[in-house]
Chains A and B, each alone.
Chain A
Amino acid sequence: MTPPSLGKDLLGLEKLTAEQIRLVLDTAEPFKEVSERAIKKVPTLRGKTIVNLFFEASTRTRISFEFAQKRLSADTVNISSTGSSVQKGETLVDTARNLEAMRIDMVVMRHPSSGAAKFLAERIRSNVINAGDGQHEHPTQGLLDLLTIRDNFDAIDGLKVCICGDILHSRVARSNIWGLLKLGAEVAVCGPQSLLPRGIEGLGVQVFHRIEQAIEWSDVLNILRLQLERMSAGYIPSLREYYRVFGVTMERLEAAPKDLLILHPGPMNRGVEIDSRVADGPHSVILSQVTNGVAVRMAILYLLAGGEPALAEAAKRTNREGAE
C-alpha cells in the first residue's frame, strides 16, 4: 500500500484526488496544536530555504505562509514585484532560476496571471506552491475553508455549501468548488449575473440569483469580497445597490430555516457583501479560517518537503527484507 502523497507541487485543487485532499486536512490537525504551544516551533524543516515570491499585494496569505514556514524552522525570504529585478524586465523563469542558483528548496508564488504557478513548476526543480494565480486557483485558501467547514460538521459529504458574491474574479471560488465537490458536498453559487462566469453550471454547481434562496438552501455560506480592483467598470450598479440585493444581513439569516455557518476569505468589505453583525456573529468562523490557514500551510510545506522518493522506496524495500 503506497500512502498518498502530493507530488512535487501544489498548484490547485482541480487536479487533486479526494484522498490527497483528505491527506492534507488530516495532516493539518496536529499542526494546529503547534501554534498553541508557548514555543511555537518544531524543527521539521530546519535547513530548508523557501522563497515567497509575491507579484500581487497580499497581507493575510503571505503572513500566514511566513508563520507556517517559521514555525517549521524553515529559512524564508520574501520578494515582492515592486523594488525587485522584476521591475527591471526580468522574466519569471529567469527570476526563479537565479533563486535556484542560490540553492533554494521551495517557492511560494502569487501571480496575477492564471496558470503562472504551473508554468513555473514545469521549469524549476524546487517545489512550487500556488498562493493564488490570477482568477484560476488559490488552493491553500480552498483547503483551509474545507478544514474550517469540517471542524464544524461531522463530514463535508452531503453538506450544502453556497459561494456568494463575485464568482467571476475569484480564484477562491474555483478552488472551493473543486475541493467541495470532490469531498461530496453539494455546491451552489449566488451572485449577480454579471459576476457569474458563463457556463459555471458545467462545473456541477447550482446557481441562485437571489440571496434569499441561497440562504434557504444552504448549510454553509462562503461569502466572497467584491474584487473592485479587478472590475474595470459596469459589473454592478453601486455598492449600496449590491448590499441591498445581495448583502448577507442578519435579517436575511434570521429568516432562514436553520443556522448557517458563515465563512469569508477576507479582506471583508463590511456593509457591502456582509453585514457587520453577521461577520461578528455567533455563526461566523472567519477568524477560525485564519487560524486554520497557518495549520493547513504547515501541512502543505511538510508534505511537499519530504525526502527523495527513490530513497523512500529503498527504505521500504529494506524494511520488507528485514522483516522476512
Chain B
Amino acid sequence: MRVCIARRSISQRHGVSALTDVAAASNFRGDMGSMHTRTLLDSAAIAKALERISREIVELAGGTEHLALVGIQRRGVELAERVAKLISQREGADVPRGAMDITLYRDDLQTVGPRPIVGETRIPFDIDGLCVVIVDDVLYTGRTVRAALDQLADFGRPCRIGLAVLVDRGERELPIQADIIGESVNAPGKRVDVLVSEVDGRDAVELVEASE
C-alpha cells in the first residue's frame, strides 16, 4: 500500500507536465494571467532544431529505406509531419508516417480517470522490420514513451525503435532516454509548453512559471 501512495504523490507532483506530455495542456492555458512566460525557442530556432533532428533521424536509421515516423498525439504528430517533409525535400524519399494516441495504454486510469477524448491512432503500414522513430514534443517523466512502446509492440516488431523529441526537460520517472533531442531544458517545478502553428497558430517553446 505504501508503494501505491508514493507513486500517486509522484504522479500528482508532475501532473502538469504529464498533461503536457499527452498534449492536453490546452486545458490549463486558460489561467495564464498570473503566469510569467519566457520563450526558450522561437520559430526560427524550432525550424533549425527540426532540420538537425531530421538529419539525425536519417543517420540513426542508416538511410531512409527502412525508416518510418510515428508522432504522438497531439503535437508530436505535427512535428513528425514536418520532419518527414524536411527529409523528403533533402533526400527525395517519402517516409511513411503514423500517428499514435497513447491514452488507452496509460498507467493512471485508476487515478485520474478516463481522458474524455481519445485521439486517433493511425499506422497505415506494416512496422515489421522497419526502423520506427517515435516523435514527440516534450520528453519528461517518460511515461508517455513507455505507453507508446507498449502500443507499438501491439502493431508489430520493428527492427529498431528510436525516440526523437523537440524538448527534453529531464526529471524522468522511468529508465527511458531519447536518441535525438532538439533542446534540453532544466525547469523543475515549471511548465514547458510546445506550441506548433498547425494546432496553436504559432511556433514556440515557452517556459511558464508563476510571476512571484
Contact = CB atoms under 8 A, between A and B. Distances in A.
Is the pairing of A and B real? yes
Interface of A: 1, 3-5, 23, 26-27, 29-31, 33-34, 37-39, 41-44, 72, 302-303, 305-309, 311-312, 314-316, 318-320, 322-324
Contacts of A27: 114, 116-118
A306 B110 CA distance: 6
16 contacts: A30-B121, A33-B120, A38-B155, A39-B155, A42-B104, A44-B104, A302-B104, A305-B114, A311-B8, A311-B112, A312-B111, A312-B113, A319-B19, A320-B28, A323-B191, A323-B208
Chain B contact-residue range equals 35 or more
B116 A39 contact: no
Q: For chain A, what secondary structure do more than half of its interface residues adopt (helix, strand, loop), or is it mixed?
A: helix
Interface stretch (B10-18, B46-54, B129-137, B199-207): B10-18
A320 B31 contact: yes
A319 B27 CA distance: 11
B16 A43 contact: no
Contact of B116 (A3, A41, A315): A3
Contacts, number: 104
A324 B210 contact: yes
B28 A323 contact: yes
A43 B146 CA distance: 13
A39 B111 contact: no
Contacts of A320: 28, 31
A41 B121 CA distance: 13
A34 B156 CA distance: 14
B45 to A, nearest CB: 24
A143 to B, nearest CB: 16
Given A30-B118, A323-B191, A43 B104 contact: yes
Given A30-B118, A311-B111, A315-B111, 8 more contacts: A23-B116, A26-B117, A30-B101, A30-B120, A42-B154, A315-B15, A320-B28, A323-B16
